[in-house]
Structure 1
Amino acid sequence: MEIRRPDIVRALNQMGNFSMKLKWDFQNTTLVDFSDMKWERGDISFVFIGDAKPSHSLTVMDNKMKVYQRLRYEESEVEIEDEVDILMSQDIVAAQMSTKSITFTRAQSGWLFREDKTEMVGPFMADFYYIGGLYLESRKRREHLTAEDLQRNRAMVENFAHGAVTGSIAIDPYLEPPPRRRSLPPPPKCTVSWEEYISSPPGEPPNLGREIKCKGSVKGYKATLAMDEQFPLSVDSLLNVLEVIAPFKHFKKLREFVQMKLPPGFPVKLDIPIPPFVTSRITFQDFQFDDSLSNDLFEVPSDYVEDPNRFPEF
């Protein structure tokens, strides 16, 4: 974040003041009864002050509760230990969305006389495209899990799929440290000699530790894109600004997508999967440059109270 700061500030200053409205819709594609559930983030604001010190440069505010939280760039030792515990009790998953074979095809409309689909997206007249060749490649490793781990993980997935809420135990870290997962037992002693290792076929080295339990899969997805060639903002300008919010998952996925070779114009509507089971729809409902915006919009109001735990995901 600190390395990117000068470029971020320069990009924002060159763009000038503007206001825009974005609408985010998330749909679940697999879980049972999830269509009746809602995710509600609430009325929140992100404030980035480019010339402030790192501990005060990025702030998120809850405008209903009138509290704010400073966003930290680094994780604490306790948070790192928490993540290690999670990794040691869950499947280790590596997933990536392949973009090598992506294609853009003009969407068609009409029953008898087919023509390129063009319609209004908010105030913008947009050309619609189908995105083909989207593939999610995923790999799972689980040789570090015990039979109890696997049984508990399956139960958690089933409970979540049916809307059940599982209980948890809250521990005050100031009274006692949280329980940590014990280290794994050592793997069997390696019996592979150096000669056997260096003479193995390329890409097929002998196993030196635990027996690897790996499962891979490839799944195709469909996506839709609407482009407006008259949009007042360029894609390059948007990419520069997205550097500010790249650490957040949904915006990061959007940033990675718009880096690809897009059709002419600016993406004003996008339906894209967010693996593993959520589809996101992002729509630009309004955008306009406005030099009359007050500087008060970029300050934390005096009646807001700091709450460092309001947004635990940050």
Structure 2
Amino acid sequence: MAGPGPTFPLHRLVWANRHRELEAALNSRQHDIEQEDPRGRTPLELAVSLGNLESVRVLLRHNANVGKESCQGWAVLQEAVSTGDPEMVQLVLQYRDYQRATQRLAGIPELLNKLRQAPDFYVEMKWEFTSWVPLVSKMCPSDVYRVWKRGENLRVDTSLLGFEHMTWQRGRRSFIFKGQEAGALVMEVDHDRQLVHTETLGLTLHEPEALLATMRPSEEHVASRLTSPIVSTHLDTRNVAFERNKCGIWGWRSEKMETVSGYEAKVYSATNVELVTRTRTEHLSDQDKSRSKGGKTPFQSFLGMAQQHSSHNGAPVQQAASPTNPTAISPDEYFDPNFSLESRNIGRPIEMSSKVQRFKATLWLSEEHPLSLGDQVMPIIDLMAISNAHFAKLRDFINLRLPPGFPVKIEIPLFHVLNARITFSNLCGCDEPLSSVWVPAPGSAIAASASPFPCEVDPAVFEVPDGYSVLGAERSEPLRDEDDDLLQFAIQQSLLEAGTEAEQVTVWEALTNTRPGAHLPQVTAYEEQLQLERALQESLQMSIEPGGPGSPHGTPPAPPSFEEQLRLALELSSREEEERERRGRQEEEDFQRVLQLSLTEH
């Protein structure tokens, strides 16, 4: 009896780049477009790795999933960037954004329906960005997300809009979601320009061609990706453990409690939280790579961030090799699950460095808080996480099996020197009254409801303000994925103010060898060191009092050497941590002495 035909038929057509036959096979609807081959790749992942643009185009037209990650944790878009092909990157990026938009739009009605069944509320989420690096922590931005929920209507206000042209973008913006019979209405309200962009989900989802056309990225965006390292940052929470924080030295130590936004909260530490950052550079030109040898900037060297470098596909190149099949793997070898490829692989040989840092996250949990994390807060975090990297990390952390209680405050790592502290406050305007929110009068239907914290929200907050111009949907340039870029933006915003005169070199210029918005020729390594020296001098002047005991009449001392500056800067950065550890040791010693005395007396 004849078999069903060759295994992995779509993959084999992709391997040979027989895109017309691939189109016909997909039109027959007899094959699973998301089937994985023995190496864990879908047809789209295989087509991208092999650089077969025509096959990629066919698969994307048939809605192959761009959001899937490989078993090594790389997204399809990142693999497309590694090919160095601008057309490939443009195509994958366009469909990635299109699929993200349709998934977001399709999920909003379900989100609003879930919220409709929960009690109405108003709450504020304060985001504070902190760092162990003194200057970064001094001027990191903060933002307050203000959230109104009434029935199946939701409004989220923010002032920190994102990152563009190497600066934090500020503005007063509201995002309003209103449930309707046909789906939902989404409004983005720009209060600074008094403009409202509206989108009706039912109509948008029925016009895929028009939506896809709006997703085409600019040439500058594509070029920026191809000249920047591929950076992947994620929280590894597989080994996270929660433990109660202790306090007190007299008598037995007690479990720590703190009041947050008027609620008693237990304080927990989440240990073994690992932040994994991987950087790939195989697609970069020698000039791009030379800007930061091995992906390591002067600032990273200053912070002492060790990286482990690794290279894959290191087998000897054979005669029939090609740029995307450097070890000349045959299709029979590739599709044979019993054939070991060992260090051989398809795709451009990977050049990667990685670093793993272990953090301790902290959370404050209140068992008395009336908000429901699952019914009221998680739907909002899920919505914001689709297009916001910070909310995505918060969602990943909250999805862990947390101890009981509502997380009134959470502190988690975002990048290797940047933390986010999120605090829930002003529930239903109880701390700072708002005209749009009030507690209903006793005896009213809302007051008599089963809600532990009855709250009434003015329906006017979900309407377009008077005098605003209402326009159709508008799509902004999507945020870049690489969290490392957001870190660099944060550092730049935090430290630019260190330079007070036009001719001074700021810390940001020392990190990037350029002024924001300028395209200057690359400086030499010697000039780079001079810039970093001058930048560190400015940093230290902000942290060290001028004129020591040996300085007559307050005359500034001679500038320290570069090595001395590095030593002082690192000393400043670690002093607070050392002091904390010293206090902890002293507290433990005092406790042991008191305990010993109490045992002796008895």
Provide TM-score, normalisation by structure 1.
0.76
Partner of 1:100, secondary structure, is: coil
Q: Match for residue 295 of structure 1?
A: 459
Further displaced range: 265-274 or 303-312? 303-312
State the alpha-carbon separation in 2 of the partners of residues 125 and 51 from structure 1: 39
2:284 counterpart letter in structure 1: L
User: How far off is 1:86 after superposition?
Assistant: 2.8
Partner of 2:115, secondary structure, is: helix
Partner of 2:290, secondary structure, is: helix
Residues 37 and 311 of structure 1: CA distance in aligned 2, closer, same or farther (over 3 Å): farther
Further displaced range: 92-101 or 198-207? 198-207
Q: 1:263 aligns with which of 386, 393, 403?
A: 403
Q: Match for residue 89 of structure 1?
A: 227
Q: Match for residue 235 of structure 1?
A: 373
User: How far off is 1:60 after superposition?
Assistant: 3.3
Query: Which has a greater percent of strand?
Result: 1
User: How far off is 1:15 after superposition?
Assistant: 1.2
Q: 2:328 aligns with which of 192, 199, 207?
A: 192
Residues 204 and 189 of structure 1: CA distance in aligned 2, closer, same or farther (over 3 Å): closer
Residues 227 and 246 of structure 1: CA distance in aligned 2, closer, same or farther (over 3 Å): same
Residues 97-118 of structure 1: per-residue CA shift (max 9 Å, x gap): 1111011100111233421111
Residues 107 and 291 of structure 1: CA distance in aligned 2, closer, same or farther (over 3 Å): closer
Amino-acid identity (%): 29
Q: 2:113 aligns with which of 3, 6, 10?
A: 10
Further displaced range: 271-280 or 99-108? 271-280
For the 8 Å contact 1:235–1:258, the answer to whether it is kept is no
For the 8 Å contact 1:106–1:117, the answer to whether it is kept is yes
State the alpha-carbon separation in 2 of the partners of residues 29 and 85 from structure 1: 34
2:404 counterpart letter in structure 1: P
1:251 counterpart letter in structure 2: F
Query: Which has a greater percent of helix?
Result: 2
Q: 2:385 aligns with which of 231, 246, 250?
A: 246
Q: Match for residue 304 of structure 1?
A: 468
For the 8 Å contact 2:235–2:393, the answer to whether it is kept is no
Residues 305 and 209 of structure 1: CA distance in aligned 2, closer, same or farther (over 3 Å): same
Alignment RMSD (CA, Å)? 3.7
Partner of 2:180, secondary structure, is: coil
Task: Say whether residues 1:78 and 2:216 are aligned partners.
Answer: yes
Q: Match for residue 45 of structure 1?
A: 174
Partner of 1:61, secondary structure, is: strand
Q: Match for residue 211 of structure 1?
A: 349
State the alpha-carbon separation in 1 of the partners of residues 123 and 337 from structure 2: 61
Further displaced range: 238-247 or 77-86? 77-86
Q: Match for residue 528 of structure 2?
A: none
2:266 counterpart letter in structure 1: D
State the alpha-carbon separation in 1 of the partners of residues 338 and 352 from structure 2: 20
State the alpha-carbon separation in 1 of the partners of residues 324 and 402 from structure 2: 51
Partner of 1:301, secondary structure, is: coil
State the alpha-carbon separation in 2 of the partners of residues 53 and 156 from structure 1: 52
For the 8 Å contact 1:200–1:206, the answer to whether it is kept is no
Task: Say whether residues 1:146 and 2:285 are aligned partners.
Answer: yes
Partner of 1:78, secondary structure, is: coil
Residues 226 and 7 of structure 1: CA distance in aligned 2, closer, same or farther (over 3 Å): same
Residues 210 and 260 of structure 1: CA distance in aligned 2, closer, same or farther (over 3 Å): closer
For the 8 Å contact 1:61–1:69, the answer to whether it is kept is yes
Q: Match for residue 273 of structure 1?
A: 413
Residues 209 and 95 of structure 1: CA distance in aligned 2, closer, same or farther (over 3 Å): same
Residues 11-35 of structure 1: per-residue CA shift (max 9 Å, x gap): 11111321112211012445x8434
State the alpha-carbon separation in 2 of the partners of residues 189 and 259 from structure 1: 39
User: How far off is 1:149 after superposition?
Assistant: 0.9
State the alpha-carbon separation in 2 of the partners of residues 138 and 310 from structure 1: 30
1:49 counterpart letter in structure 2: K
For the 8 Å contact 1:123–1:286, the answer to whether it is kept is no
User: How far off is 1:312 after superposition?
Assistant: 5.3
Partner of 1:128, secondary structure, is: strand
Q: Match for residue 128 of structure 1?
A: 267
Partner of 1:15, secondary structure, is: coil
1:252 counterpart letter in structure 2: A
Q: 1:221 aligns with which of 359, 363, 367?
A: 359
State the alpha-carbon separation in 2 of the partners of residues 193 and 90 from structure 1: 29
State the alpha-carbon separation in 2 of the partners of residues 187 and 77 from structure 1: 30
Partner of 2:401, secondary structure, is: coil
Residues 7-64 of structure 1: per-residue CA shift (max 9 Å, x gap): 212211111321112211012445x84344343625432211222878x833333445
User: How far off is 1:189 after superposition?
Assistant: 7.8
Q: Match for residue 188 of structure 2?
A: 60
When Rg is computed on C-alpha atoms for both structures, the one with the higher figure is 2
Residues 138 and 17 of structure 1: CA distance in aligned 2, closer, same or farther (over 3 Å): same
1:256 counterpart letter in structure 2: D
State the alpha-carbon separation in 1 of the partners of residues 186 and 262 from structure 2: 31
Provide TM-score, normalisation by structure 2.
0.42
For the 8 Å contact 2:174–2:188, the answer to whether it is kept is yes
